[in-house]
Copies of this chain bind each other. A is one copy, B any other.
Amino acid sequence: MADRVTIVDVAARAGVAISSASSALNNRPGVSEATRLRVRAAADDLRYVPSLRGKSLSSKRAFAVGLVLNRDPDVLESDPFFGGFLGGIVSVLDSHGYALVLQMGEGPEATLDRYRRLAADRRVDGVFLSELVVDDPRIALLDALHLPAVAINADTPFPFPAVRQDHRPAVFELVDYLLGEGHQTIAHVTGPRQYIHARQREDAWRDALTSADVVVGPTVEGDFTFEGGRRAARELLGRVDSPTAVFCGNDLTAIGFMSEAREMGVRIPEDVSVSGYDGIEMGSYFQPMLTTLRTSPHHIGAESARMLVDVVRGAAMEDSTIEPAELIIRGSTSRARTSL
């Protein structure tokens, strides 16, 4: 393969200095229009592609951002949120010439190490901060590492710019709908309570009931998994005062809940109305189909990528809120059973 065309070649062909060529190509001021055009033409002729490596070294930027998933590497397999999220991220990054570096850490310490390494290697210019937990140790770390970040569904206020999808209106809508259908006891299966988004959903559910002057139903702490949903069903449906409706922290949990309920001989929605959160495809694979609050992983990913690119370019960003989650009523919820 012929030697790579460099800016030296372009400058030579255009008959200008390297520095002028650089300025011209990067649309920096201080170059006459004539020169700019000449350099452009030369670059085109030579099919010049700037070297990311040279650029990186001298400009001290990586033109890449990182995403570290704090998870068992195989959880991605069962959590469909990340597919859309990743898709949204890369589609935006791509159009800005940025790349996504994907990392995974099993357990909190391993995850922190990934960030340390990304920073030490200067592998990325910034990172996404997702799946936030209470007192998340990554906040202090990123701060110490001087690594710019954009948070996803963070609490407010938050030390980094954040993109949020408002979940509250939809949760309120769901609760109102269930109350309207005659449900008196609406239970909630939470996610792991260290997760901020798990708490946000629980809080919204509680607030919705409280503001409707209805007694707050029982809760079970789940873990956002199918199996966790099954456990929750055994726990909630075994009791005499079992709820007539349950709002699960995510769809996977709701699906597990329905599965176990069915095995216990509890009918859905006749005996218990079940709803989830996420709006994953899988929810429509079951009969009855799952009532859920649909989020927009792709959009969240795209918006956070847009923000992160701005942030690493030095723009001061304010938080961004995308369209709220949306209530999707389907077959798994209906009027409350009248007799216990």
Residues of A within 8 A of B (CB): 1, 49, 51-54, 56-57, 60, 62, 64, 72-84, 86-88, 90-91, 94, 99-104, 114, 120-123, 146, 226, 255-256, 259, 262-263, 280-282, 285-287, 297-298
Contact = CB atoms under 8 A, between A and B. Distances in A.
Contacts of A83: 74-79, 82-83
Given A77-B297, A91-B104, 7 more contacts: A49-B121, A57-B57, A74-B87, A76-B82, A77-B80, A94-B103, A282-B285
Contacts of A51: 122
26 contacts: A49-B120, A52-B122, A52-B123, A56-B56, A64-B101, A73-B84, A73-B88, A73-B91, A75-B83, A76-B82, A77-B297, A78-B80, A78-B83, A82-B83, A86-B102, A86-B104, A90-B102, A94-B104, A99-B101, A99-B103, A99-B123, A100-B103, A226-B281, A255-B285, A262-B287, A263-B287
A128 to B, nearest CB: 12
Contacts of A286: 286
A73 B102 contact: no
Contacts of A56: 53, 56-57
A79 B79 CA distance: 10
Contacts of A280: 77
Given A49-B121, A99-B103, A102-B102, A259 B287 contact: yes
A204 to B, nearest CB: 24
Given A49-B120, A74-B298, A103 B90 contact: yes
A230 to B, nearest CB: 10
A178 to B, nearest CB: 24
Given A53-B122, A99-B103, A146 B77 contact: no
Contact of A73 (B87, B123, B285): B87
Nearest to A62: B53
Contacts of A281: 77-78, 226
In this complex, the member of A73, A256, A297 whose beta carbon has the largest number of chain B beta carbons within 10 angstroms is A73
A106 B99 CA distance: 16
Contacts of A101: 64, 99-102
A122 B297 CA distance: 30
Contacts of A297: 77
A38 B100 CA distance: 38
A90 B104 CA distance: 7
Nearest to A76: B83
A285 B298 contact: no
A146 B4 CA distance: 13
Given A77-B280, A122-B51, A146 B87 contact: no
Contacts of A285: 226, 255-256, 259, 282
A80 B74 CA distance: 9
A169 B91 CA distance: 39
A7 to B, nearest CB: 14
Per CB-CB distance, the 3 closest pairs between chain A and chain B, nearest first, are A73-B87, A76-B83, A77-B83
A17 to B, nearest CB: 21
A54 B52 contact: no
Contacts of A87: 72-74, 76-77, 104
